[in-house]
Amino acid sequence: MILPIYTYGQSVLKKEAEEIDSSYEGLEQLIKDMYETLRKSEGVGLAAPQVGLSIRLAVIDLDIISDDQPEFKGYFRTYINPYIEETAGESVPYEEGCLSFPGIHEKVNRPSKVRVSWQDENFVEHDEWFEGFPARVLQHEIDHLDGKCFIDRMSPLRRQMNKKALNSIAVGKFSCDYKVKTAKK
């Protein structure tokens, strides 16, 4: 089932998400629904707060870009209770977008390498270093789980320059090709 993506102005996007365990009801179906939602919206990552759930769960599908970057063929990963343990490398600017902020794309500085601990869909523990694009996507999604959005990482000037677009999103005056739930009453 395709889930609506919560857009800017929804309070769930600003809350720190809670850890879950294997007893979380409906988890297997939720993960399937999140992947389906991600594919429909043509994104590369989706965190549970973006579908209205304040839990530490994110899915990443880099297969969508594998035509241009074949190293990502078959790259589908589920991250339960992920945390950034360590960062390394230089801070690199890269243009990011976010399904919760339709139409807004800005350069965001992030470390080039990141060590993440998490559990997979079978609750097997992992601890791994990521670099390049996977590191960026993971940092973006883990930010969502920590109650942060990519606009929080923009410079004050760039945020001010996007104020009109942000206000439009907050009141539901935008268009996109996927199902959303806006803050507008």
Pairing of strands 5-6, 57-61: unpaired
Strands (E), the chain: 5-6, 45-47, 57-61, 76-97, 105-119, 125-131, 180-181
Q: Which two tokens stand for residue 161?
A: 């320059």
Number of domains making up the chain: 1
pTM: 0.96
| Structure confidence at residue 162 (pLDDT) | 95
Low-confidence ranges of the chain (pLDDT < 50): none
- In which domain, by residue range, is 131 found? 5-181
The answer to whether 3 and 33 have CB atoms below 8 angstroms apart is yes
Residue 183: predicted pLDDT:
87
CATH number at residue 56: 3.90.45.10
- Catalytic residue status for 141: yes
**What pLDDT is recorded for position 185?**
59
Choice among 42, 90, 128, 141 that is catalytic: 141
pLDDT mean across residues, the chain: 96
